[in-house]
């Protein structure tokens, strides 16, 4: 089903966490058996455009693992894995790898793919879920590093035509993947916090404004092919 593609649908669980509605939801569950990474706090440097992007947590390593779980039970928590879970399809996996490579090309980060099992868990999971069923009618969502067991995980809306191939550089799907991975790395929406003339996509794909001064929220006039 094609629905109007609102920019906000590429937003994340992280956004709601900023308002306190979901942070800590999974805090009482057993920790994910991460291969390497744990979260640590970030001190904002006092530079407006950088402070605007920092949620407040980061990973303690630049070498992260990721996976495409074949089974929901591998994820280790409830919620997203329980609602129409599906593994990420092959062509979309290729797009995710490309989006991670794009982050690596501009940051001191590596992403190593592992095969998820019941006993071996990546730092970042990518999966499909009926996010609407848990109150998030958006194209995707992601968890900040300090959000407990799900921290670092990216979920994509299972029935959204946004995630149908083909994928290509410049497609909104690629933008949305880059955006969600940004949350999983500790970046928040800088909308209204950036230096006003920088408050748009020319400066950050984490932004909710396409260009400075644009009202939010807005409808993005793009229908995926």
Q: Which is nearer to Zn ion, 25 or 138 (CB)?
A: 138
Which of residues 12, 39, 67, 129 is near Zn ion by CB under 5 A? 12
Determine the interface stretch with Zn ion among 5-13, 31-39, 56-64, 83-91 (rule: CB under 5 A): 5-13
Q: Which is nearer to Zn ion, 11 or 154 (CB)?
A: 11
SS3 of residue 65 by DSSP: strand
Taking the complex as a whole, the smallest distance from the CB of residue 147 to Zn ion amounts, in Å, to 14
Q: In angstroms, how far is the first alpha carbon of the chain from the final one?
A: 12
The kind and range of the H/E element at 112 are strand 110-113
Interacting residues with Zn ion between 56 and 115 (CB under 5 A): none
- Strands 63-67 and 110-113, how do they pair? parallel
CA-wise closest residue to 103 among 159, 52, 142: 142
Determine the interface stretch with Zn ion among 6-14, 42-50, 81-89, 128-136 (rule: CB under 5 A): 6-14
Is the omega angle on the peptide bond into residue 217 within 30 degrees of 0, that is, cis? yes
Which of residues 5, 7, 9, 11 is near Zn ion by CB under 5 A? 11
Taking the complex as a whole, the smallest distance from the CB of residue 160 to Zn ion amounts, in Å, to 15
User: How many of the chain's residues bind Zn ion (CB under 5 A)?
Assistant: 2
CA-wise closest residue to 174 among 96, 61, 76: 96
Q: Which is nearer to Zn ion, 11 or 17 (CB)?
A: 11
Taking the complex as a whole, the smallest distance from the CB of residue 117 to Zn ion amounts, in Å, to 30
Taking the complex as a whole, the smallest distance from the CB of residue 33 to Zn ion amounts, in Å, to 27
Residue appearing with tokens 């990474």: 37
Taking the complex as a whole, the smallest distance from the CB of residue 10 to Zn ion amounts, in Å, to 6
Determine the interface stretch with Zn ion among 7-15, 19-27, 44-52, 167-175 (rule: CB under 5 A): 7-15
Cα angle 223, 201, 141 (rounded to 5 degrees) comes to 65
Q: At what angle do helices 172-184 and 90-106 cross, to 10 degrees?
A: 60
**Residue numbers at the binding site for Zn ion (CB under 5 A):** 11-12
């Amino acid at each position: 089903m094609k629905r109007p593609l609102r920019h906000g649908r590429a937003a994340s669980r992280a956004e709601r966490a900023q308002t306190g509605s979901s942070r800590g939801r999974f805090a009482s569950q057993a920790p994910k058996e991460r291969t390497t990474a744990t979260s640590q706090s970030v001190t904002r440097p006092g530079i407006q455009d950088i402070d605007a992007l920092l949620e407040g947590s980061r990973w303690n390593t630049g070498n992260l693992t990721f996976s495409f779980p074949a089974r929901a039970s591998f994820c280790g928590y409830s919620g997203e894995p329980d609602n129409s879970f599906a593994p990420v399809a092959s062509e979309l996996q290729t797009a995710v790898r490309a989006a991670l490579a794009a982050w690596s090309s501009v940051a001191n980060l590596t992403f190593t793919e592992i095969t998820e099992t019941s006993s071996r868990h990546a730092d970042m999971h990518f999966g499909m879920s009926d996010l609407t069923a848990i109150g998030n009618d958006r194209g995707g969502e992601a968890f900040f590093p300090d959000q407990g067991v799900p921290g670092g995980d990216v979920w994509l809306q299972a029935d959204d035509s946004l995630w149908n191939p083909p994928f290509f550089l410049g497609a909104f799907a690629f933008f949305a993947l880059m955006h969600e991975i940004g949350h999983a790395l500790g970046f928040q929406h800088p909308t209204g916090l950036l230096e006003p003339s920088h408050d748009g996509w020319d400066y950050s794909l984490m932004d909710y404004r396409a260009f400075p001064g644009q009202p939010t929220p807005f409808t993005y006039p793009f229908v995926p092919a």
